[in-house]
Chains A and B, each alone.
Chain A
Amino acid sequence: MAIAQARQRAWSARWSYVYLAPMMVLLVGFIVYPIVASLGYTLYRWNGIGDPSEFVGLGNFRQITHDSIFWHAVEHTFVFAAFVVPIQLVLALALALVLNNRKLRFASFYRTLYFLPVVTSAAVMGVVIQLLISNFGDKINSILLTLHVIDHHVDWLAQPHFAFAIIIAVGIWHTFGYNLVYFLAGLQTIPEDLYEAARMDGAGRRAQFWHITIPMLRGVGVVILILAIIGTFQIFDIVQIITGGGPYFATEVVNTYIYHLAFGGANATAVQPDVGLASAASFFYGLLLIAFSAIQVVVLRSLVRRRSQGVVAA
């Protein structure tokens, strides 16, 4: 009886399954399968050609966890996220509030303008920035020296802090438009009545922002926050193009670290790329991210629980 009901339910939702199928095929083919397949490779020393034959057991994982460059890359990735996410979200929210003003003329034009970097390839942006810095490094230096912003010539991509700051700035610029659009969508779901009622009660703009806008944006805000964090953990192309992870690993992030293990660096000396080791690094980083996400979920749930307990108590 139950089976028959389940069958009937499935049949009645058949079109849903049909529509889901193409995405599922792609997901299994390009996400699930590579993850499962790479798990096997983690146990081999393998240059990516032919079949892996040199079994090293958990040796690759041992090597990764003992590699200080890997841990520096993890640190750089988290520092990148720690700078990009809050700066980007605050800027995106501020600009979304401005663009949400119905009295603002040419609002659509501005939205398009701020969204443009998102549709531009990160690699192209990286190349342009790299060329700007390398070709006009002298001029940038002379302007800043004249203005007394710096007191000596700076080789921008040779100094770890400057190189990393440039990558952070490009990272913020590149995906800023996404968060702007998300916040705009969130702002447009807030009923105007709430603001009208608040104004009638004598609330000023600041009070309206803190007591209406922010609470009403909390739901979409959490989603934007999570997406922004996930996005920053995937940083690769900007770093690879602008600095290649250098100088001396100062801007190496986990994804460039994995790439360099799997395909070698720019300096292709006659050493074998190690896809097995790269797979182990990739898998281990995945585990780290899962652990981080779990902590994130626990913290968010606890915040929500605390807040709902506060509301009930009030």
Chain B
Amino acid sequence: MTDINRRTFLRAAAVGGAATFGGTLVGCGSSGGSASGKTTVTYWDSYVSQAGWVDNEIKLFQKANPKITIKKTTQVSDKYDNLLSLAFRSSNAPDIFMLPKTPTLPTQVTNGWLDPLNTWATKDWQSGFPAGSFTEGIDVFNGKVYTAPFSGAGPSLQLYVHNGIFKQAGLTNSDGSVKLPQTWDDIGKFASIVRSKTKADGLGFGNADNVILEWWADILVRGAGSPGGMASAGVDSADYRVGRWTYDTDRNYADAVNLILQWKKKGYFYPNSMSISDEQARAFFEQGKFGMTIGGVWNQPEWTSHKFTDYSLVTLPSPSGTPQALYYGPPGGSFVAINAKSKVADAAWKWFDWLYGDAAGKRWVADGQGLSAHPDANDPSKVTFKPFAAYVGMSKYAVVGPQPTIKNPDAAKVTLGTVKPDHNDVLAGLYTGQLGNVHSALSELAGRRNKSLDDGIKAAKAQGAKVSRDDFTFADWDILKPYTTKPNS
């Protein structure tokens, strides 16, 4: 038996302490290796309803790469941008992360947040994506690739119909399928029938976070032929045909808002719609409290997880029944990027590559999460879930739109200042009756947004950028067709 003297004890304690603290530090730190040779890659996203797909991908990835551990953190979506920004400021940013909306991607590149991927994202790797996927000003800056497109283009918003409620209301075709509203009038008429023949309300939404009313306006005005819609981010909500916001001159906006107000006045909307959140509205729709709601494809996995699948969907209901404008997106796209200061960039790239892989894309589509950037993953015949197949069938309503940053890369230096009251505020003001005059409210909003762009251009010019309003104007744009933006056109 060996006697333990004081010195031996202290040495053992020191070793034990170091091991304990070492372990703790690995747990707290952003990333790193360990004595076992395992590398930990920290990963952030704001995917809540898509968490099942992410978790499954992590499981499969770790099985294929046993020496790499992905430490996922999902931040709440409305705080994600702020939290990531704070993480960068305090040097605690994750190794790989979902790109935030703010600051804009060019600003993130300028700030040195993102690692250029050209070492790994070679031309050969890029060839696995459709042509035009890597575009200067979108996911490539100064010739360096920083991210890649992940999702395929699809209509951002859809009008969801509760089949059970519609059947109760007798809104069925001769074959027993539910009647789907195709026009603005259909929506009002069906809402009225649902209200009179069932205990449910016709329409519903959850605007507690002040972000949902714009969805209603957006889907209606696009259907009527206003390509800027109302829910697009930043300058994309302008009408690129004239390079300005046209809420004051395009009557579709006032018509759509007046229609919403008319539906409210007639009592078609679930009366607590302004007090409940979008999450609650999703649950209430599922419970049959209202017959129609507007949302995105992200609703579907959550409803499926609750075994609620008895619903249908349409997009872009319009005054005539034929959409006069579509949803538009860039030719490339973005999803995740690697932290420029990551100490485990190679391992982070492996996870990046896995997420962007064809197999992960197929699982994304099969899971009903959305469309993949890889077209072969979007095979509707392989989609067995009817509502999601309906969404895949709507992909024709999303096309490539004009891109100011391709026309003039300096356009990326234009940042829009905060517009207050913004479109959500104005819509809430009109809906609650605090603003009485639709036309003047929309005109003032257009004025504020246009001034914001003018100020942004002025500020960019002061910083040396060569940019003007013309860079945001695409007079030759046919809004029903894909648009190819030519550099310096």
Residues of A participating in the B interface, judged by any CB pair closer than 8 Å: 45, 47-50, 54, 67, 69, 130, 133-135, 137-138, 141, 153, 155-160, 244, 246-250, 260-261, 263-274, 277
Contact = CB atoms under 8 A, between A and B. Distances in A.
B275 A157 contact: yes
Given A137-B271, A137-B275, A261-B418, 9 more contacts: A54-B463, A155-B275, A158-B432, A247-B431, A248-B428, A250-B432, A271-B415, A272-B104, A272-B107
A271 B416 contact: yes
B85 A155 contact: no
Given A49-B107, A247-B428, A267-B211, A272 B418 contact: yes
Contacts of A273: 102, 418
Interface in B275-326: 275-277, 280
A160 B277 CA distance: 18
B280 A246 contact: no
Interface stretch (B239-247, B253-261, B400-408, B419-427): B419-427
Interface in B444-470: 452, 459, 462-463
A8 B243 CA distance: 75
Residue from A48, A69, A271 with most neighbouring chain B CB atoms (10 Å): A271
Interface in B107-136: 107, 111
Contacts of B452: 271
Contacts, number: 136
The 4 closest A-B pairs by CB, nearest first: A158-B274, A248-B429, A270-B234, A157-B275
B210 interface: yes
Contacts of A250: 432, 434
A86 to B, nearest CB: 27
Given A153-B271, A271-B102, A159 B432 contact: yes
Contacts of A260: 420
Contacts of B428: 246-248
A263 B271 contact: no
A174 B241 CA distance: 53
Nearest to B434: A248
A-side interface mostly:
loop
B111 A49 contact: yes
A141 B463 CA distance: 56
Given A50-B111, A246-B428, A272-B418, A264 B435 contact: no
Considering residues A49, A246, A270, which has the most beta carbons from chain B within 10 angstroms of its beta carbon? A270
Nearest to B459: A54
B274 A157 contact: yes
A269 B425 contact: no
A247 B417 CA distance: 22
Contacts of A45: 417, 459
Contacts of B274: 155, 157-158, 247
B249 interface: no
A269 B420 CA distance: 12
Contacts of A48: 85
A138 B209 CA distance: 19
Given A264-B418, A269-B234, A247 B89 contact: no
Given A45-B417, A272-B415, A273-B418, A267 B272 contact: no
B73 to A, nearest CB: 18
B233 interface: yes
A270 B432 contact: no
A248 B435 contact: yes
A246 B233 contact: no
Contacts of A47: 102-103, 107, 415
B275 A263 contact: no
A120 B362 CA distance: 47
B264 to A, nearest CB: 10
Nearest to A69: B420
Contacts of B421: 69, 248-249
17 contacts: A49-B85, A49-B107, A134-B276, A138-B272, A157-B208, A247-B274, A248-B421, A264-B82, A266-B210, A266-B211, A267-B211, A267-B422, A268-B101, A269-B101, A269-B422, A273-B102, A274-B417
A263 B82 contact: yes
Contacts of B209: 244, 266-267
Nearest to B435: A248
A135 B287 CA distance: 13
B210 A272 contact: no
B103 A272 contact: yes
Nearest to A261: B418
Nearest to A53: B463
B484 interface: no
B425 A158 contact: no
B417 A271 contact: yes
A247 B434 contact: yes
Contacts of A153: 271
A279 to B, nearest CB: 14
Contacts of B422: 265, 267, 269
Nearest to A244: B210
Contacts of A137: 271-272, 275-276
Contacts of B459: 45, 54
A99 B101 CA distance: 54
Contacts of A160: 432, 434
B78 interface: yes
Interface string B94-110: 00000001111001000
B81 interface: yes
A246 B275 CA distance: 10
B273 interface: yes
